[in-house]
Amino acid sequence: MIPPVKNPFLASKRRPIVVGHRGVPRLHQENSLAGFRRARSLGIQAVELDVRLTADGRPVVLHDSNLARLTGSSANVADLTWDQLSRLRVSRELPMGLDARGVPVIVRYDREEPFSLFEEILAEIAGALIINVELKIDLPRFWRTDVGAVVAGLIADAGLEDRVIVTSFDPRMLVAARRARPRLATGFCFDDTMLDFAGLVLDRLPELPFELAPHHQPRRGHNARRLLNRLLESDIAGRLFGTRLVGAEHTLVGHQTVRTLHHHGVAIGTHTLFPLGSTAGKRIAATADTIAEVERLVDLGVDWIESDDPERLLQLID
User: How big is the CA angle at 197 (ends 192 and 200), to the nearest 5 degrees?
Assistant: 105
Q: Is residue 80 part of a domain?
A: yes
Q: How many helices (H) and strands (E) does the chain have?
A: 12, 13
Domain count, the chain: 1
Residue 271 located in a structural domain: yes
Instruction: Give me the CATH number covering residue 164.
Output: 3.20.20.190
Query: Would you state the pLDDT for residue 200?
Result: 55
Q: Give every CB contact of residue 191 below 8 A, 6+ residues apart in sequence.
A: 169, 249, 282
CB 162 within 8 A of CB 188: no
Q: Which pLDDT value is given to residue 313? A: 98
- Give domain status of residue 42, yes or no: yes
Q: Confirm whether 1 is domain-assigned.
A: no
Q: What is the DSSP secondary structure assignment for residue 79, as one 8-state letter?
A: G
Does pTM surpass 0.85? yes
Note whether residue 208 is domain-resident: yes
pLDDT by 10s per residue, the chain, length 318: 444 468 999 998 999 999 999 999 999 999 999 999 999 999 999 999 999 999 999 999 999 999 999 999 999 999 999 999 999 999 999 999 998 888 999 999 999 999 999 999 999 998 899 999 999 987 656 667 899 999 999 999 999 999 999 999 999 999 999 999 999 999 999 998 775 655 554 455 555 555 555 554 445 457 777 777 888 888 988 999 999 999 999 999 998 899 999 999 999 999 999 999 988 778 899 999 999 999 999 999 999 999 999 999 999 998
The pLDDT of residue 86 is 98
Residue 11 placed within a domain = no
Query: What is the per-residue DSSP string for 277-304?
Result: -BTT-PPPPGGGG-HHHHHHHHHHT-SE
| Residue 168 forms part of a structural domain | yes
Query: Which domain, by its residues, includes 209?
Result: 17-317
| pLDDT at res. 141 | 67
- Tell whether 5 is covered by a domain: no
Beta strands in the chain (DSSP E): 17-21, 46-53, 59-61, 89-90, 93-98, 104-108, 113-114, 130-135, 164-168, 185-190, 245-249, 267-273, 304-307
Closest CA to 109 of 40, 30, 29, 20: 29
